[in-house]
Amino acid sequence: MSNVRGTNGNGGGAAEWDAVIVGASLAGCTAAIMLGRAGARVALVDQRAEPSAFKRVCSHYIQSSAVATLERLDLLEPMMRAGAVRSGARIWTRFGGWVLPPAESTVAEGVNLRRVVLDPLMRRTAAETPGVELMLGHTVGDLIRDGEAISGVVARQGGSGERRLRGRLVIGADGRDSRVAKLAGVRTKTYPHGRFAYGGYFEGAPPQGAPDASLWFLDPDMAAAFPTDSGLTFYAVMPVKERLSEFRADPEGALVETLAALPDAPPIHEARLQGSMQGKIDMTNVAHDVTAPGLALVGDAALATDPLWGVGCGWAFQTSEWLSDSVAPALLGHGSLSRGLARYRRRHARGLRGHAFMIHDYANGRRMSPVERLLFGRAAESAALADVMAAFGSRNMGPAQMMARGLPRSLAIAARRSLKRAGASSPRPAPGTAGAANGAPSPAGAAQGGSGESR
């Protein structure tokens, strides 16, 4: 790890910028827009030179927990004009069939828009924000430090000389393999992943349930269909790694045959692949300490989790919003930056720690636990329980609240099922015996009694 020592950064003079953001994708652009609108001077740096660049390996689904952030950014309407699709989620499991979004759901719909459309829109919005300077084609090679505090970055554009960008705060928004996190030396934890992923955009008739997304939890494999803009559907499969050899030789063929064999299979044989297949073999979950003196990490640079649950895009928006709200006053000279970073650290942990724990636990490729089978199985029978699971799955509800509301309801439904089965399997009393023993008239006595009463 190399670090360049500064002579007039945070400790030795005025910073050139209030914030230097490395990475101009969803998280970085969100932070830039919000800080710029708050009045901060922001340098937004990205190694890609083209404004139209986009993240290619991504399911692109934005959970509804992030929709409020999109509205605050004034991006939801432009996204809808660009063809975005609002959708809930349908989940199939072998333990009860389909868990469907209730007709009167309390959970807002998520948003589907391909990254080829969304990323340039985000970058353009950031570049048009007063106070934000977008610097494309700049690769960050080192960090500037004043003592223990990070106070800027050293960037290089192509073959040109180095440029030192000093800021009161450096924000790493450079993704799962964050170079900023590595250069800063923040503490890192990794969690193994036992599945791999292949997916692609297909043109053709939409799957059943569209525009809602469909997910098949095959225990332990997974498959999904995400209807999106331009009449396309993103189909994906995430099998356990023991099946990798089946897919390596012909990813498209293996994906198509896997989808065609699903319960209530989508019309994949009639669909046509648009563009190339996407694949990711190593999806190790990575969690970094989200702050250090003069530094904050957002999006995947802070916490890169299993894409199976579709949380990455939403968390990119949300974590950047939490950071901006936490540090903007200090960057404008009102309060302590270290206290602002502490607020962000607490907010990040409160919002995501519980979700991440459960996601990492399932990511190793294991089968569902008895509790998970109970929750999904009974949610297929109860609209109220399905609503709880939808709120949790879209990250509008934390794990503790989901268990407190969902587990007792699931157990009650299971108990009623058991009682009903027990009643159905009980032997009928023999004529004139069991009924009489319980004080009830036998069929003959009932007939006699009836005759006597009619007189």
pLDDT at 421: 80
Residue 42 lies in a domain: yes
Establish if 440 belongs to a structural domain: no
Furthest C-alpha separation in the chain: 114
Based on the fold, state whether residues 229 and 377 are members of the same structural domain: no
324 and 239 co-located in one domain: no
Containing 130, the helix (H) or strand (E) segment is: none
Query: For the segment 53-74, what is each residue's pLDDT rounded down to a tens digit?
Result: 999 888 899 999 999 999 999 9
Q: What is the mean pLDDT of residues 15-23?
A: 94
Q: Are residues 239 and 207 in the same domain?
A: yes
At residue 104, the pLDDT reads 87
Is residue 70 situated within a structural domain? no
Per-residue pLDDT of 245-293, as tens digits, reads 999 999 999 999 999 999 999 999 999 999 999 999 999 999 999 999 9
The CA distances from residue 108 to 65, 101, 105, 416, in Å, are 8, 10, 8, 30
- CATH number of the CATH domain containing 350: 3.50.50.60
Is 434 domain-assigned? Answer: no
Whether residue 435 lies inside any domain: the answer is no
Q: Tell me, what CATH number does 261's domain have? A: 3.30.9.40
Q: Indicate if 204 and 179 belong to the same structural domain.
A: no
Residue 39 lies in a domain: yes
Would you call 121 helix, strand, or coil by DSSP?
helix
What is the dihedral angle through the alpha carbons of 316, 405, 222, 304, rounded to the nearest 10 degrees? 20
Same domain, 138 and 265: no
Q: Is the peptide bond before 220 cis (omega within 30 degrees of 0)?
A: yes
Confirm whether 105 is domain-assigned.
no
Looking at the structure, tell me whether residues 211 and 331 fall in a common domain: no
Given pLDDT bands bounded at 50, 70 and 90, which one contains residue 427?
low
Tokens of 263: 């319960």
Residue 445 has pLDDT above 60, yes or no: no
Q: For the segment 311-339, what is each residue's pLDDT rounded down to a tens digit?
A: 999 999 999 999 999 999 999 999 999 99
Give the confidence band of 408 by pLDDT, cuts at 50, 70, 90.
very high
Q: Are residues 179 and 295 in the same domain?
A: yes
Residue 449 lies in a domain: no
Q: Secondary structure of 349-411 in the HEC alphabet?
A: HHHHHHHHHHHHHHCCCCCCCHHHHHHHHHHCCCHHHHHHHHHHHCCCCCHHHHHHHHHHHHH
Alpha-carbon distance 142 to 279, whole Å? 31
Asked whether 88 and 337 are in contact (CB, 8 A), the reply is no
pLDDT > 80? residue 81: yes
pLDDT in tens, 151-184: 999 999 987 888 999 999 999 999 999 999 999 9
Range 237-240, long-range pairs (CB < 8 A, 24+ positions): 237/197, 237/198, 237/199, 238/195, 238/196, 238/197, 238/307, 238/308, 239/195, 239/196, 240/194, 240/195, 240/365
Query: Cβ(229)–Cβ(251) under 8 Å?
Result: no
Chain-wide mean pLDDT for the chain?
A: 91
The last residue of one of the domains, among 280, 297, 326, is: 280
16 Cβ contact list (under 8 Å, min separation 6):
43, 152, 165, 166, 167
Q: Which two tokens stand for residue 346?
A: 């607490």
pTM, two decimals, is 0.89
Domain hosting residue 418, numbered range = 370-425
- Terminal-to-terminal C-alpha distance of the chain: 104
In angstroms, the CA 27 to CA 324 distance is: 11
Q: Are 291 and 357 within one domain?
A: yes
Least confident span in 178-192, 306-320, 427-441 = 427-441
d(CA 416, CA 401): 23
Count how many domains the chain has: 3
In the DSSP assignment, the letter for residue 66 is: G
Last residue in a domain, options 256, 280, 304: 280
Residue 24, token pair as written in the block: 């101009």
Q: Are residues 50 and 182 in the same domain?
A: yes
Do 288 and 297 contact (CB within 8 A), yes or no? yes
Based on the domain organization, do 24 and 141 belong to the same domain? yes
Write down which residue in 311, 337, 361 finishes a domain: 361
The pairing of beta strand 17-22 with beta strand 42-46:
parallel
pLDDT of residue 108: 94
Residues 123 and 46 in one domain: yes
Residue 15: the pLDDT is 64
Alpha carbons 375 and 371: distance in angstroms, whole number: 6
- The pairing of strands 97-99 and 89-93 is antiparallel
Does 212 lie in the same domain as 158? no
Res. 13: pLDDT tops 60: no
Using alpha carbons, select from 67, 114, 119 the residue that is nearest to residue 88. Answer: 67
